[in-house]
Amino acid sequence: MYNIRKISEELYYLGSDDIRLELFENIHPIQKGVSYNSYLLLDEKTVLLDTVDSSKGKEFLEKIKVVLNGRDLDYLIVHHVEPDHGAMIGEVVTLYPNIKVIASKQAFVFIKQFGANIKEENMIVVKEGDKISFGKHEFTFVGAPMVHWPEALVSYESTTKTLFSADAFGTFGCLYGKLYDDDFNIELELLEEMRKYYTNIVGKFGVQVQTLLKKASGLDIKMICPLHGPIWRTNLSLLLDKYNKWSKYEPEENGVLIVYASMYGNTEKGAITLANKLKEKGLANLAVYDVSKTDVSTLIAETFKYSHLVLASPTYNMGVFPIMHNYLEDMKALNVQNKIVGIIENGTWACKAGDEMIKIIKEMKNMIVLEEKVKIVSSLNEKSEQEIESLMDSILKTL
């Protein structure tokens, strides 16, 4: 009747898929939906690990009843209070008035701000290194501030060697009956959703993710249970390697991403001419996007992926084309760094787009702007085609 899955003898998955949600956090398009993950442990004490989004609340409460099978719910561990995980805290506490809630000090502040009322005697505040045993299973709590909210905790269960990782190691996309990473073809089904999730949700906080990775490296982890996406048990090294690269802002691949804005097609011709020339020279790893036709969350994910970035924009109101400008500001906000950047600008008079793009890029860390800037005066001509040739040579040399 419900998607209840047994993970181990005592641990159950109570999550839900949400395919109807079009925009995650009302900003990021998620064509493949998202899962909200919650877990229930049946030990000497019963322990619920996080809740779900309110859109799945009714079925979630029914799942809890089914798995408890008449037992009371003794504890709720709150790793992260964001409403896609914490929306049902108030309802759970109301249904199970004897429940003890375990969370960080700041999490209890946030829980109250979101309107859930927990009696003070039912609050258990935990911090880094605290341990709680529920019978056979002992949990150690690890602080994960700003991954990606300041109150976040993760917990390590030593019997099954499981890390409950909150929003870390999450992935966009519905599970549709699949539960584990090895249920998926990672390259074809998961990697793009992993990258898009990390770069847009957690990407700004690379330093904090590095801190969490160092803490995790001291644990014997056999399984990772995040709050979105599949449970990881087989390809842990791949997952950790990706997080290490992304959080260090290292490109995953040597290749070129061309992002262009074009009002009447002339700047687009410059971008496509460069793409064609790079392909003719044998460059295999190349992606091209129109900034006006591609959501910025996709562009950010692709920007993290590639070593080289080419930005092509017309001048608009003496500055950068607005959607290109927004993309650059998103790059800056999400801490993009360590890129080699080429510039193509266009202007019929007072061409300013290139200088303005460079100004924003130089506000980011370790961004190398290639000297071979391409200037299109209204439309391509022999001079601007030669400049594209020079930019191509410079890109290939630095690859």
Half-sphere exposure of 269 (CA within 13 A, CB side): 14
114 with 208, same domain: the answer is yes
Whole-angstrom CA distances from 39 to 101, 155, 177, 312, 345 are 15, 13, 16, 47, 52
Our measurement of the distance from residue 379's CA atom to the centroid of its chain's CA atoms, rounded to an integer in Å, reads 39
Query: Which of 210, 230, 248 is the endpoint of a domain?
Result: 248
What pTM value is reported for the model?
0.94
Instruction: Please give the full DSSP string across 184-248, using - where no structure is assigned.
Output: S-IIIIIHHHHHHHIIIIIGGGHHHHHHHHHHHHTS--SEEE-SSSPBBSS-HHHHHHHHHHHHH
Count the domains in the chain: 2
- Other C-beta atoms lying within 10 Å of the C-beta of residue 106: 16
- Which structure tokens are listed for 310? 């080419």
342 and 391 in contact (C-beta within 8 Å)?
A: yes
- Which structure tokens are listed for 134? 């529920």
99 and 92 in contact (C-beta within 8 Å)?
A: yes
Q: Write the single-letter amino acid at 293.
A: K
Strand 306-316 and strand 5-6: the pairing is unpaired
- Residues 262, 259: Cα–Cα separation, whole Å: 10
Query: Which of 226, 248, 270 is the endpoint of a domain?
Result: 248
**Tokens 């045993």, residue located:** 133
Q: What residues in the chain have per-residue pLDDT under 70?
A: 1-2
35 with 85, same domain: the answer is yes
28 with 157, same domain: the answer is yes
364 and 331 in contact (C-beta within 8 Å)?
A: yes
Whole-angstrom CA distances from 167 to 31, 202, 239, 375, 380 are 20, 8, 14, 44, 47
179 with 289, same domain: the answer is no
- Residues 86, 79: Cα–Cα separation, whole Å: 9
290 with 360, same domain: the answer is yes
- Residues 163, 140: Cα–Cα separation, whole Å: 10
281 with 242, same domain: the answer is no
Give the residue among 131, 163, 175 at the shortest CA–CA distance from 11.
163
312 with 343, same domain: the answer is yes
Give the pLDDT confidence of 19-36 residue by residue, as tens digits.
Answer: 999 999 999 999 999 999
26 with 128, same domain: the answer is yes
80 with 143, same domain: the answer is yes
364 with 292, same domain: the answer is yes
Look up the CATH number of the domain holding residue 373.
3.40.50.360
Q: What is the pLDDT of residue 1?
A: 53
Domain with 72 in it: 5-248
Look up the CATH number of the domain holding residue 91.
3.60.15.10
191 with 135, same domain: the answer is yes
Query: Which of 233, 248, 263 is the endpoint of a domain?
Result: 248
101 with 228, same domain: the answer is yes
- Residues 25, 199: Cα–Cα separation, whole Å: 14
Q: What is the pLDDT of residue 3?
A: 77
